[in-house]
Amino acid sequence: MYDIYLGAILLPIAPEKIKVKINNQNKTITLINHGEINILKQAGLTDVNFSALIPQFNYPFAKYIDGFKPSDFFLNAIEKLKTNQTPFQFIISRFTPSGGKMFSNNITASLERYDINDDVKQGFDITVDFELKQWTDYGTKTFVIPAAALRVASNTTNTQTPPINPSPPTDTVPPTKPPTAASKTSRNNANQTTVQTVQVAPVIKRPANTAPNNTTVTTKAGDTYESVAKSELGDVSKANEIYDLNKTSPILQNILNNSVGEDGKSRTQRYIPPNLQLQLPRSTTTTTRSGGGLRPKVTNVIGGGGGGGFA
């Protein structure tokens, strides 16, 4: 004999049978050259299924708390178990006919589904089919972060290096620029002369009474005083001044005193070794340099006739 409780509700008549299914979450896989194996995991939630008779009349074998209750009392209580969305205790209390207590089952469950059956064989009574599922408590953990840690995190975020913009694609075609004064072409009628004017880059001049930017220069193999004067000062006649300014240096004095160098080759007094720091005279005259010398403005005249020219 046993009593069935759904929360605080005692079913007036115990069901004939109760099916309690202990589910599992084990997983079966097949290994190559080994066959099927079973990976054991924690047990799943328990399912409980049974059917109970809810009498419409007060039978002598029915059991009630605080006297007889009609069937609608139980139906309303069962509906609340479903709609309240809260778990309840499902209890199976076993005892002997003489009243001795036996073992009991007590699990926290939720009402998953119930069916109300009206059968002519049951007369005015009704039968309710129950499906219960075990419910386990769960929750979230709350972490309190100190204010000091939040300030440190905020400062770290604010001091992060901003992302570097990626370089534009190298295969991007630049926009077409309008023609400039650097290259102009005029086109006349078929039998007229076509003139192409080319304007070179402007020549940079150093103002008078100013010294050159470099007061020293490092020589390279093959340099002479004349080549240094031309490349650095723009005036070959400054070669003697460079010679007179540097002839007292220890390296050049050694060359003056020894006509033969360490490599056995003869040396002249105006020989300049490579990697020598030569001092340059400060010039008071204006010099003009542009790469390989002054570049003039060029005008090309292309013969007429024939309807050629530049588009």
pLDDT digits (tens, 9 = 90+) for 236-261: 898 888 888 888 888 777 777 776 55
CB hemisphere CA count around 277 (13 angstroms): 5
Structure confidence at residue 255 (pLDDT):
76
Split at pLDDT 50, 70, 90, the class of 128 is very high
Mean pLDDT in residue range 78-87: 92
Structure confidence at residue 121 (pLDDT):
84
3-state secondary structure of 241: helix
Query: Are 310 and 198 contacting, i.e. CB atoms less than 8 angstroms apart?
Result: no
> Mean pLDDT in the chain?
76
What does the block give as tokens for 46?
């328990």
What does the block give as tokens for 242?
């460079």
Residue 33 reports pLDDT greater than 70: yes
Domain layout of the chain by residue ranges: 2-134, 216-289
| 63-to-39, 54, 121, 236 alpha-carbon distances in Å | 47, 11, 22, 131
Query: Are 251 and 273 contacting, i.e. CB atoms less than 8 angstroms apart?
Result: yes
- Note if the pTM is more than 0.85: no
Instruction: Domain 2-134: give its CATH code.
Output: 2.40.30
